[in-house]
Chain A
Amino acid sequence: MSEGSSAINASDPAIVVRDLDFAYNHKQLTVLDKVNLKINHLDSICLVGPNGGGKTTLLKLILGLLTPQQGELRVLGHPPADVRLRLGYVPQYAYYDPLFPVTVLDVVLMGRLGLQPLGWYRDADRRAAEKALAQMKMEHLAARRFADISGGQRQRVLIARALASDAEILLLDEPTANIDIQSEQSLFALLKELNRTRTIVVVTHDIGFASSFFQRVACVNRQVATHPVAELNGRMIQELYGGEVSMIRHDHNCAGQHCRPGENRGV
């Protein structure tokens, strides 16, 4: 068994970030400054904050797609690059070329890449992809073109791709962007279900979504401060986003109803 796939103690944290610095443009544009963060196994945590605050950068550092300039970052007890195959990533679907000729099943199978010695998928890979599609109730769309399905369905396909890899940590980048309220609610239910067996980290601007699902919220704006969701309030959000924030409750009991800051509901 390789180092990256070795079993780890369930009491160890899933992700540990210590005094991490990151800057773009040859260290000229600092995005993250002395960031500390600990995420335990089976945690569900959302990263919220203003645009340019460093949410997606932090997510990409955790995924090993970027390398920190300073500080320590351990994922499942290892450097991120060593455990990439144990991480499931769900990017925003909006970035995909709508004309790209690829079927839903082909997309989900990409979640199995790196697990074959020769580069061709085996029966086990196909079974895992079909199981992930079934888990997302998307098996009937397997042969459809990815471009021909709706935004909410694409989001589910991308989650299926992450699930197909048997990921221990799921990281999602703005999963509720560009999907309707119904898709958002079913995504919320699905993440709750997945969180029973996996750690979940989500980047979002949708604090309403965050407050109704996550255990903790990490406010990211160059630095990171984590809070239990129950402590999240309007003042905190205003300070984070640096201005007036429209608070909208959109849990199932008062969808669309406007609430005043301080009511501990969503943006």
Chain B
Amino acid sequence: MTTTVPDSTAARGRTAVFEIIEALGSPDIPFFRYAFLLGLLASVSFGIVGTYVVAKRISYLAGAIAHCVLGGIGAGLYLQHQVGISWFDPLYGALIAALLAALIIGLVSIHAKQREDTVIGALWATGMAIGLLFIAKTPGYVEPMNYLFGNILLISKTDIWLVLSLNLVVVTITLLFYHKLLAVCFDEEFARLRGLNSNFYHLLLLCLTALTVVLLVRIVGIIMVIALLTLPAAVAGTFARTLGRMMLGAIFCCMLFVSTGLGISFIHDLPSGPTIILVAAGAYLAALAVSRR
């Protein structure tokens, strides 16, 4: 008995892995392949941008940007289906809303230090409220839950190209400005003293965060996207000595969490977003426990 239990567990594990591999190759369920590929590719942007967000401690700013995305999605859907502007994909609305929110939130965080949390909290809720109102006025076309909690059925080949383009932008900016962004994140005042326009770099980081959030909303949804942005970086940050290594660790962790979460959700027929987030949260708790030993 004592030997059969591990054997059967291992066998079940092997079967599950085979099932996932088979599903990835199956022409009948391309969305699963797309989701898997999108998750792995997006991990690059998520690992890099997430590292900046965690290191600079601006998770709540990123959270506000993510929630404002719903406003853009709602407006996009309304324009597309109620006004008849058929070319206006909700993704465009999401991108505009996210970048606008990033700039407003960035300027508020720079200039309105005393009321920063209040203003950002208000923007957070306002963005969602606008989105829900537009969605309510676009009946029959959309299920808000898809955007709030993610739905891998919505992922298409176009999303893969978009994420590849985003990766190119994020990696190029990081390579060009690595030391400057490091200095601004570590000591904004000193960076200014050395002639860097720290406000520009702050806004640049928020805009990158906005782009990353928009493209990943389809997998994990608006509510949970911040967890996937911050948890892999937080896990990597418990062990990394430099920002560069933290980025590499975060990319690896994000790939691991997304693929594991998607695999578990496929095998057990669970919603993919929450499963990925729980895998990431479990890993973060384990990393904290290990690092405190």
Interface residues, chain A, with chain B CB atoms under 8 Å away: 63-65, 84-85, 87, 89, 91, 96-97, 99-103, 106-107, 109-111, 113-114, 119-121, 143, 145, 161, 165
Contact = CB atoms under 8 A, between A and B. Distances in A.
B195 A85 contact: yes
A101 B55 contact: yes
- For the complex of A and B, the 7 pairs showing the least CB-CB separation, nearest first, are A113-B194, A114-B195, A114-B194, A101-B240, A101-B246, A110-B183, A145-B241
A79 to B, nearest CB: 14
Interface in B116-145: none
B288 to A, nearest CB: 12
Contacts, number: 75
Contacts of B55: 97, 100-101
Nearest to A118: B176
B243 to A, nearest CB: 5
Contact of A110 (B177, B178, B186, B246): B186
Contacts of A161: 190
Contact of B57 (A65, A87, A89, A97): A97
B190 A102 contact: no
Nearest to A88: B193
A65 B209 CA distance: 28
Contacts of A106: 182, 242-243
Interface centre among A64, A103, A110, A145 (most CB of B within 10 A): A110
A103 B182 CA distance: 11
Given A101-B241, A103-B242, A89 B190 contact: yes
A150 B241 CA distance: 16
A110 B187 CA distance: 9
B20 interface: no
A194 B177 CA distance: 33
B157 interface: no
Given A101-B55, A101-B237, A110-B187, A87 B180 contact: no
B195 A101 contact: no
Given A101-B243, A103-B242, A114-B196, A96 B180 contact: no
19 contacts: A64-B193, A65-B189, A84-B194, A91-B189, A91-B190, A100-B55, A101-B55, A101-B243, A102-B182, A103-B241, A106-B182, A110-B186, A110-B194, A113-B183, A113-B194, A114-B195, A119-B176, A119-B178, A120-B178
Nearest to A143: B241
A84 B194 CA distance: 6
A114 B193 CA distance: 9
Given A96-B186, A99-B237, A120 B196 contact: no
A165 B194 CA distance: 9
Interface centre among A120, A161, A165 (most CB of B within 10 A): A120
Interface of B: 55, 57, 176-180, 182-183, 185-187, 189-196, 237, 240-243, 245-246
Contacts of A102: 182, 186, 242-243
A85 B189 contact: no
A85 B243 contact: no
B242 A110 contact: no
A110 B192 CA distance: 11
Contact of A121 (B179, B185, B242): B179
Contacts of A97: 55, 57, 186
Given A91-B189, A102-B186, A109 B196 contact: no
Contacts of A145: 241
A181 B28 CA distance: 73
Nearest to A63: B193
A91 B196 CA distance: 17
A97 B57 CA distance: 9
A84 B195 CA distance: 7
B241 A65 contact: no
Contacts of A63: 193
A64 B179 CA distance: 22
B242 A101 contact: yes
Given A102-B242, A110-B187, 6 more contacts: A84-B193, A91-B189, A97-B55, A100-B55, A106-B243, A114-B194
Contacts of B241: 101, 103, 143, 145
Contacts of B177: 119
B90 to A, nearest CB: 37
B86 to A, nearest CB: 44
B187 A96 contact: yes
Contact of B194 (A85, A99, A101, A143): A85
A113 B242 contact: no
Interface centre among B57, B194, B246 (most CB of A within 10 A): B194
Contacts of B243: 101-102, 106
A184 to B, nearest CB: 23
A192 B5 CA distance: 73
